[in-house]
Amino acid sequence: MSNSAVLQKETSKIHQEVIEANNKYVSEFGKKGELALPPARSFTILTCMDARLDPAKYAGLSEGDAHVIRNAGGRASDDAIRSLIISHKLLGTKEFFVIHHSDCGMELFNDQIIRNLLAKSLKTATVDANGWRNLEESGGSDEAKYIPFLTFENLEKSVVDDVKRIRNHPLIPKDIPVYGYFYDVKTGKLVEVQEATKIGRAS
């Protein structure tokens, strides 16, 4: 890659907007530098990376309040559980929320679909009435066969499954309640998945 290509990437419109936004944030930072390392409200949210979700707004968070773990689907992956363990064991959180959401992209494909796409191309794919397809097919990799993408077909069941996995994990104490919800992207409401919350009750 040439230096000019790197320079162009580093000075993209998005890059500039992020730096400008950060400069404004710094100018208004105030006493946030004095916040303690452990989250003040002692809880953790595991939720999706979807850009429509803002945990600070839907859960009423300010900087320093809570841990927020995000990944595709808000799934209780090995890495998410690693973070939950650290959150509790070393930083004192006492309650966990699993929050998935309606209209989630993780319902639109499965492991075999994404593995087939990646095997033929690393470029962004597209979807239409005939399903997912690559716009060009070159430079793919079979490495995706080693990754569990944790897709799902049923929203509420995915919340139940993740709460159950956290609840049954030998490194998660039984006295931590694990609540199960999904976020409705049409209304902003958190909807409780009662079966999940029952499973996640502290004992």
pLDDT tens digits for range 119-135:
999 999 999 999 999 99
Give the torsion through C-alpha atoms of 58, 61, 66, 69, to 10 deg.
40
Which residues sit in the known binding site for Zn(2+)? 48, 50, 101, 104
At 26 the pLDDT is 97
Angle between helices 155-168 and 78-89 (to 10 degrees): 50
Q: What is the CATH number of domain 36-108+151-200?
A: 3.40.1050.10
Domain extent listing, the chain: 36-108+151-200, 110-146
Q: Are 150 and 162 in contact (CB under 8 A)?
A: no
C-alpha–C-alpha distance, residues 141 and 120, integer Å: 7
Q: Which value, in Å, is the radius of gyration of the alpha carbons in the chain?
A: 20
Helix (H, G, I), strand (E, B) or coil at 173: coil
Report strand pairing: 131-133 vs 126-128. Answer: antiparallel
Q: Produce one character per residue of 73-94: b if its CB has 16 or more CB atoms within 10 Å, e if not.
A: bbbbbeebbebbeebbeeeebe
pLDDT band at 52 (very low <50, low <70, confident <90, very high): very high
Q: What is the pTM of this model?
A: 0.91
At 2 the pLDDT is 47
C-alpha–C-alpha distance, residues 121 and 136, integer Å: 7
Closest CA to 144 of 170, 128, 169, 125: 125
Residue 109 has pLDDT above 90, yes or no: yes
C-alpha–C-alpha distance, residues 163 and 23, integer Å: 39
At 1 the pLDDT is 44
Q: Phi-psi region for residue 201, left (φ > 0), alpha (ψ -120 to 50) or beta?
A: beta
C-alpha–C-alpha distance, residues 162 and 197, integer Å: 11
Which residues sit in the known binding site? 48, 50, 101, 104
Q: What is the mean pLDDT of residues 71-91?
A: 98
Q: Are 183 and 155 in contact (CB under 8 A)?
A: no
At 151 the pLDDT is 98
User: Which amino acid, one-letter code, is at 135?
Assistant: L
Q: Are 95 and 44 in contact (CB under 8 A)?
A: yes
Residue pLDDT, tens place only, 6-26: 555 567 889 899 999 999 999
